[in-house]
Structure 1
Amino acid sequence: MGGLRGTLLPPNNRWMGPCGAVCLAPRARGDSVRPGRVSGVVTRPLNFTVRPHVILLRLTLPLALAVWSLHSGPVPAQALGAATQAVLAAEDQRFDAMVRGDTAALRSLLADGLTYTHSDGAQQSKAEFLQTIGSGALRYQSIKPEGRVVRLRGDVGV
Structure 2
Amino acid sequence: MSSWLKAMNPSSPITTEAEAERAARASAISIFIGVVVGLIGLAWTLANPGTMQDAVATASQGDPAAGAMANASLQAGLWMAGAMVAIQLILGVVQWRSPGKFIAILFIVLIALGIAMSVAAPLMTASMPTVPITPMWQIGLSVVIMIVQLVLHVTGLKGIKQLDRIQMEQSR
TM-score, structure 1 normalization: 0.24
More strand by share: 1
Higher normalized contact order (CA 8 Å, seq sep 6+, divided by chain length): 2
More helix by share: 2
> Larger radius of gyration, structure 1 or 2?
1
TM-score, structure 2 normalization: 0.23
